[in-house]
Amino acid sequence: MPGPFRHILPALALWLPATAAGANPLTLCTLVTDPADHRVLLREGGACAVPVTPASTFKIALAVMGFETGILGDAHHPVLPWRAGYPAWRASWKQDTHPTRWIDESVVWYSQAITARLGADRFATLTRDLGYGNADVSGDPGADNGLTRSWIGSSLRISPEGQIDFLTRLITGRLPVSARTVALTREILEQSPQPQGWRVWGKTGAAKRPAADGQGADSQGAEGSRGAYGWFVGWAEQGLGDTTRRVIFTRLILDERGFRPGDPPGPHARDSLFADLFGTDGLLR
């Protein structure tokens, strides 16, 4: 992407009304780039420079940390047991889990097991070393929950532009990690194949929109009125070797109905982006 990303945080109240009025979910940003020459292939929405919670898209960075430090062995090791008291927002989380299943089912307690093994100091250092968003994994003020929730509607924030920057550095070998770490991270992120030979790697994410991100909770006085963010971030490749074509993408949406565990907005972001990229009239068809 030409030039450095702009690191600005306008009041969300200024750009939320400008998104497709009456539409739900609202598309806050869609950004598609070519990592070979940093061309912007598609940019839509007024929030591409606005940092928000990464939610489960942070699992990409956690996978990098886990493989690089040896906490994660490979795509299927370690298998960690489910224990009573772990977060279980979905019934599918209540079983033993390995890295591939962690990503596929977006298992929060497995993320927390990784950060617990890292410890607060190393977790903070690695997040800074990766240049991930604002790199603030302190958590909520006074709550001592940086290791368990800093990336879920809390202190850690990243913009759609920041997601593109991080992923570009990941797949072009410009993160301070080994090639093995990158290869293993790719392995657990692969999605279903798309038309015309496109292969896709990525991660969804979803979290409630904090009151600080807008006027919803203050003006309406209800938890659900804040809405919920939905992310899908990743990259796609077509071809092999020197002829490989790559694009990096991110989509951020806001579901004004709030966060509903049975219908989280992350898959909506993924499916709508797949349609826009790989559908009959898609950008990459």
Query: Contact 54/156 with Cβ under 8 angstroms?
Result: yes
In the predicted structure, residue 172 carries a pLDDT above the cut 80: yes
Structure-token pair, residue 264: 């989280």
pLDDT at position 17, please? 43
120-129 and 108-118 helices, crossing angle to 10°: 100
Q: Is the pLDDT of residue 19 over 50?
A: no
* Catalytic-role residue among 56, 159, 225, 272: 56
Once rounded to an integer, what is the mean pLDDT over residues 209-237?
68
Question: Looking at this protein, which amino acid is placed at residue 50?
Answer: V
Compute the residue count for the chain: 285
Q: 3-state class of 42 per DSSP?
A: strand
CA 87 to chain CA mean position, Å: 19
Q: What counts of helices (H) and strands (E) characterise the chain?
A: 10, 5
Q: What is the mean pLDDT of the chain?
A: 89
Which letter, b or e, does each residue of 171-208 get, where b requires 16 or more Cβ atoms within 10 Å of its Cβ? beeebebeeebbebbbbbbebeebeeebbbbbbbbbbb
What per-residue confidence (pLDDT) applies to 214?
Answer: 56
Respond yes or no: is residue 159 known to be catalytic.
Answer: no
Domain boundaries, the chain: 12-278
Tokens of 107: 């298992």
199-226 mean pLDDT: 67
**CB under 8 Å to 88, separation ≥6 — which residues?**
94, 109
Residue 140's pLDDT is 96
Per-residue pLDDT, 171 = 97
Structure token digits, residue 20: 């497709």
In CATH terms, the superfamily for domain 12-278 is DD-peptidase/beta-lactamase superfamily (3.40.710.10)
In this predicted structure, the answer to whether residue 152 has a pLDDT above a threshold of 70 is yes
Other beta carbons within 10 angstroms of residue 33's beta carbon come to: 24
Confidence of residue 15 (pLDDT cuts 50, 70, 90): very low
Predicted confidence (pLDDT) per residue in 70-126, tens digit = 999 999 999 999 999 999 988 999 999 999 999 999 999 999 999 999 999 999 999
In single-letter form, the type of residue at position 174 comes to R
243-280 residue pLDDT tens: 899 999 999 999 988 877 778 899 999 999 999 999 99
Between 135 and 211, residue with greater pLDDT: 135
- Integer Cα distance of 12 and 254 in angstroms: 12
Q: Which of 138, 177, 170 is nearest to 57 (CA)?
A: 170
